[in-house]
Structure 1
Amino acid sequence: MGRLRNFTIAAIAGLGMALPAAAQDMKFFRIGTGSAGGTYFPIGGIIANAISNPPGSRPCEEGGNCGVPGLVAIAQSTNASAHNVNAVQAGQMEAGLTGAATLHFAYNGTDVFEGNAKPDLRVIANLFPEDLHLVLPKGAKLDSLADLEGKRVGIAQAGSGTQIAIELILATQGITRDNIEEAELNNTQSAERLADGQLDAYFYAAGTPVAAMIQLDNTKGMELYDWSEEELTAGNEAVPYYIKSMIPAGTYPGVDYDVDTLAVSGILVTNANQDEELIYEITKALWSDTARKLMDNGHPKAKVITLDTALDGVEGIGVPLHPGAERFYKEAGMLD
Structure 2
Amino acid sequence: MHTFIKMTVASIALAAGPALAQEIELPRSMLWATYDVGSSGYAEASAIADAFGREYGTRVRIMPSGTSIGRLLPLKTGRVQYGWLANELFFATEGLYDFAAREWGPQDLRVVAGRPSTFGMAVAKNAGIENLSDIAGKRVPRIKANPSINIKVEALLAFGGLTWDDVEVVEVPSYGAALKALVDGQVDVAGSTPTASTLYEMESSSRGLDWAPMPADNAEGWEAIKSVASFFAPATATQGAGITEDDPAQIFAVRYPMITVYANADEEEVYNFTKALDETYDIYSNATKATSKWKLSEAGTTPADAPFHPGAIRYLIEIGVWTEADSAWNDARLERLETVQGVWDEAVEAALDAGIADKEWPAFWADYKAEALK
For 2:140, the equivalent position in structure 1 comes to: 153
Q: Does structure 1 retain, via aligned residues, the 8 Å contact 2:132–2:156?
A: no
For 1:216, the equivalent position in structure 2 comes to: 202
Q: How does 1:27-176 map to 2 (within 5 A)?
A: 27-52=28-53, 65=55, 67=56, 71-79=58-66, 83-99=70-86, 101-111=87-97, 113-115=99-101, 116-129=104-117, 131-142=118-129, 144-156=131-143, 158-170=145-157, 173-176=161-164
Work out whether 1:248 is the aligned partner of 2:238.
Answer: yes
For 1:294, the equivalent position in structure 2 comes to: 283
**How many angstroms apart in 2 are the aligned matches of 1:26 and 1:306?**
22
- SS of structure 2 residue aligned to 1:324: helix
Counting matched residue pairs gives 290
For 1:5, the equivalent position in structure 2 comes to: none
**How many angstroms apart in 1 are the aligned matches of 2:240 and 2:254?**
21
Shift of 1:41: 0.7
Amino acid at match of 1:214: Y
**How many angstroms apart in 1 are the aligned matches of 2:244 and 2:173?**
24
Shift of 1:81: 5.2
For 1:194, the equivalent position in structure 2 comes to: 182
Q: Does structure 2 retain, via aligned residues, the 8 Å contact 1:128–1:301?
A: no
Q: Does structure 2 retain, via aligned residues, the 8 Å contact 1:236–1:243?
A: no
For 1:6, the equivalent position in structure 2 comes to: none
**How many angstroms apart in 2 are the aligned matches of 1:92 and 1:80?**
16
* TM-aligned CA distance change 1:96 to 1:80, over 3 Å: farther
Q: Does structure 2 retain, via aligned residues, the 8 Å contact 1:35–1:77?
A: yes
Sequence identity, in percent? 23
Shift of 1:214: 0.7
Work out whether 1:265 is the aligned partner of 2:255.
Answer: yes
- SS of structure 2 residue aligned to 1:287: helix
Q: Does structure 1 retain, via aligned residues, the 8 Å contact 2:158–2:221?
A: no
For 2:228, the equivalent position in structure 1 comes to: 238
For 1:279, the equivalent position in structure 2 comes to: 270
For 2:352, the equivalent position in structure 1 comes to: none
Q: Does structure 2 retain, via aligned residues, the 8 Å contact 1:89–1:120?
A: no
Which of 285, 307, 310 matches 1:320?
A: 307
Which of 146, 153, 168 matches 1:180?
A: 168
* TM-aligned CA distance change 1:222 to 1:177, over 3 Å: same
Q: List structure 1 segments (4+ residues) > 4 angstroms apart after TM superposition.
A: 253-256
Q: TM-score, normalised by structure 2?
A: 0.67
Amino acid at match of 1:295: Y
Shift of 1:40: 0.3
Amino acid at match of 1:226: P
Higher share of residues assigned strand = 1
Amino acid at match of 1:182: V
Structure 2 unmatched runs, 5+: 1-25, 325-374
What RMSD in Å do the two structures reach over aligned CA positions?
3.0
Amino acid at match of 1:235: I
**How many angstroms apart in 1 are the aligned matches of 2:30 and 2:314?**
20
Q: Does structure 1 retain, via aligned residues, the 8 Å contact 2:232–2:254?
A: yes
Shift of 1:156: 4.1
Higher share of residues assigned helix = 2
With 218-227 and 141-150 compared, the bigger mean Cα shift is at 141-150
**How many angstroms apart in 2 are the aligned matches of 1:214 and 1:94?**
31
Q: TM-score, normalised by structure 1?
A: 0.74
**Per-residue displacement from partner, 1:275-332 (whole Å, max 9, x unpaired)?**
22211111111111xx112222311101121121233223x64x33223222222333
